[in-house]
Amino acid sequence: MGKDDQLGTLNYITPEKIIEAARLVHAGRVISLALPYDSAGPQTGAWGRVNPIHTFVLTGTDAAAGVQPFPHGIGAADDAVTMFLQCGTQWDALSYAG
Protein backbone atom coordinates (compact mmCIF):
# COMPACT_ATOMS: atom_id res chain seq x y z
CA MET A 1 0.00 0.00 0.00
CA GLY A 2 1.17 3.48 -0.63
CA LYS A 3 2.07 5.78 -3.50
CA ASP A 4 3.78 3.13 -5.65
CA ASP A 5 1.42 0.28 -4.82
CA GLN A 6 0.60 -2.00 -7.76
CA LEU A 7 -1.67 -4.51 -5.96
CA GLY A 8 -4.54 -2.29 -4.79
CA THR A 9 -7.36 -4.41 -3.36
CA LEU A 10 -5.19 -7.53 -3.46
CA ASN A 11 -3.33 -6.15 -0.44
CA TYR A 12 -6.36 -7.09 1.64
CA ILE A 13 -6.43 -10.74 0.55
CA THR A 14 -4.14 -12.16 3.21
CA PRO A 15 -3.77 -15.80 4.26
CA GLU A 16 -5.77 -14.95 7.38
CA LYS A 17 -8.64 -13.52 5.29
CA ILE A 18 -8.65 -16.63 3.07
CA ILE A 19 -9.02 -18.87 6.13
CA GLU A 20 -11.72 -16.59 7.53
CA ALA A 21 -13.64 -16.75 4.24
CA ALA A 22 -13.27 -20.54 4.01
CA ARG A 23 -14.93 -20.90 7.42
CA LEU A 24 -18.08 -19.30 5.98
CA VAL A 25 -18.63 -22.19 3.56
CA HIS A 26 -21.25 -24.71 4.74
CA ALA A 27 -22.23 -26.28 1.41
CA GLY A 28 -20.70 -26.07 -2.00
CA ARG A 29 -21.82 -26.01 -5.59
CA VAL A 30 -20.05 -25.25 -8.83
CA ILE A 31 -21.30 -22.38 -10.97
CA SER A 32 -19.74 -22.01 -14.39
CA LEU A 33 -18.76 -18.51 -15.44
CA ALA A 34 -17.77 -19.74 -18.89
CA LEU A 35 -18.79 -17.83 -21.99
CA PRO A 36 -18.96 -19.32 -25.50
CA TYR A 37 -15.82 -18.76 -27.58
CA ASP A 38 -17.56 -18.83 -30.93
CA SER A 39 -19.76 -16.63 -33.11
CA ALA A 40 -22.48 -16.85 -30.45
CA GLY A 41 -20.19 -15.24 -27.87
CA PRO A 42 -20.87 -12.18 -25.75
CA GLN A 43 -19.76 -9.40 -28.09
CA THR A 44 -22.37 -7.17 -29.69
CA GLY A 45 -20.16 -5.22 -32.08
CA ALA A 46 -20.00 -2.19 -29.76
CA TRP A 47 -16.70 -0.31 -30.09
CA GLY A 48 -15.75 -2.63 -32.94
CA ARG A 49 -15.49 -5.68 -30.71
CA VAL A 50 -16.32 -8.98 -32.34
CA ASN A 51 -16.70 -12.49 -31.00
CA PRO A 52 -13.69 -14.81 -31.13
CA ILE A 53 -12.41 -15.71 -34.58
CA HIS A 54 -11.12 -19.28 -34.82
CA THR A 55 -8.75 -19.76 -37.75
CA PHE A 56 -7.46 -23.14 -38.80
CA VAL A 57 -4.00 -23.23 -40.38
CA LEU A 58 -3.76 -27.03 -40.49
CA THR A 59 -6.96 -28.94 -39.74
CA GLY A 60 -5.54 -32.40 -39.28
CA THR A 61 -7.50 -33.74 -42.25
CA ASP A 62 -4.50 -33.01 -44.48
CA ALA A 63 -2.37 -35.08 -42.09
CA ALA A 64 -4.90 -37.93 -42.28
CA ALA A 65 -4.83 -37.68 -46.09
CA GLY A 66 -1.02 -37.90 -46.03
CA VAL A 67 -0.49 -34.58 -47.81
CA GLN A 68 1.39 -32.67 -45.09
CA PRO A 69 5.06 -32.21 -45.98
CA PHE A 70 6.41 -33.21 -42.56
CA PRO A 71 9.13 -35.87 -42.35
CA HIS A 72 8.73 -39.35 -40.88
CA GLY A 73 4.96 -39.44 -41.29
CA ILE A 74 4.41 -36.78 -38.64
CA GLY A 75 1.14 -34.88 -38.94
CA ALA A 76 -0.28 -31.90 -37.12
CA ALA A 77 -3.25 -29.69 -36.58
CA ASP A 78 -2.73 -26.00 -35.90
CA ASP A 79 -5.13 -23.18 -35.23
CA ALA A 80 -5.35 -19.71 -33.75
CA VAL A 81 -7.96 -17.78 -31.80
CA THR A 82 -8.14 -14.01 -32.16
CA MET A 83 -10.33 -12.25 -29.62
CA PHE A 84 -10.82 -9.19 -27.52
CA LEU A 85 -9.98 -9.80 -23.87
CA GLN A 86 -13.52 -8.84 -22.92
CA CYS A 87 -14.70 -12.08 -24.56
CA GLY A 88 -13.76 -13.90 -21.38
CA THR A 89 -14.66 -13.70 -17.74
CA GLN A 90 -11.18 -13.89 -16.21
CA TRP A 91 -9.00 -11.35 -18.01
CA ASP A 92 -10.41 -8.01 -16.89
CA ALA A 93 -8.23 -6.18 -14.41
CA LEU A 94 -9.21 -5.18 -10.89
CA SER A 95 -8.81 -1.65 -12.17
CA TYR A 96 -11.66 -2.11 -14.65
CA ALA A 97 -13.73 1.04 -15.03
CA GLY A 98 -16.98 -0.12 -16.47
Write the pLDDT tens digit of every residue in 19-51. 999 999 998 888 877 777 777 877 888 888 888
- In this predicted structure, the answer to whether residue 95 has a pLDDT above a threshold of 80 is no
Q: Taking the domains of the chain in order of start, what are their residue ranges?
A: 8-87
Q: How far is CA 72 from CA 63, 78, 89, in A?
A: 12, 18, 42
Write the pLDDT tens digit of every residue in 47-76. 888 888 888 888 888 878 878 877 887 888
